[in-house]
Amino acid sequence: MLQSEDVERLVAAARSARERAMASYSNFSVGAAVMCADGRIFEGFNIENASYGLTICAERVALFSAMVAGCGGVEAIALVGPGAEPLSPCGACRQVMLELAPDAEVIMAGDEAHLRRSVRELMPNAFGPEELDRT
């Protein structure tokens, strides 16, 4: 579990990333931030495309950017969307979190509240890498 100062720092990074979201088609701006075990923070925002299906969510941008930079382990991922209520990550991002950040905490933030859950809580009965050992 992240200390409360780190939660605030990570949510602030996600909020700042959200301001740069490229969400001109949906107008639904999302920001995310990943905290690595070494304390580094990587930001992401949703990047939309005129070919809508090519859009990528903020969480995956932040996670992939952390991987490229050699993040040794993800401690936490924060995401912030529009409105007062916490934003819940989509199913595709949950699957990617399970692969790249299986032990991470997810901080889902809105303007007035946030919710904290583990990746495993968000992915019950998941299909994960260990299933591939069945072959």
User: Closest Cα partner for 32 from 1, 5, 69, 66?
Assistant: 66
Looking at residues 35 to 54 of the shown chain, list those that interact with ligand THU (rule: CB under 6 A).
Answer: 46, 48
In 3D space, the residue among 94, 103, 99, 92 whose CA is nearest the CA of residue 129 turns out to be 99
Region of 12-20, 22-30, 68-76, 122-130 interacting with ligand THU (CB under 6 A): 22-30
* Size of site (CB under 6 A) for ligand THU: 13
Cβ neighbours, 10 Å, residue 82:
15
**Does the footprint of ligand THU cover residue 119 (CB under 6 A)?**
no
Concatenated DSSP letters of 49-60: -SSGGG-B-HHH
Which of 16, 55, 65, 118 is close enough to bind ligand THU by CB under 6 A?
A: 55
State how far the Cα of 42 lies from the Cα of 19, in Å rounded to an integer.
15
Tell the smallest beta-carbon distance from residue 42 to ligand THU (Å).
15
d(CA 100, CA 132): 16
What are the residue numbers of the active site? 59
Q: Which of 90, 122, 123, 126 binds ligand THU (CB under 6 A)?
A: 90
Q: Of the two residues 21 and 35, which places its CB atom closer to ligand THU in the complex?
A: 21
Integer angstrom CA distances of residue 81 from 3, 11, 105, 116, 126: 22, 11, 17, 15, 25
Residue closer to ligand THU, measured from CB, 6 or 60: 60
Give contact residues for ligand THU (rule: CB under 6 A). 23, 26, 28, 30, 46, 48, 55, 57-59, 89-90, 93
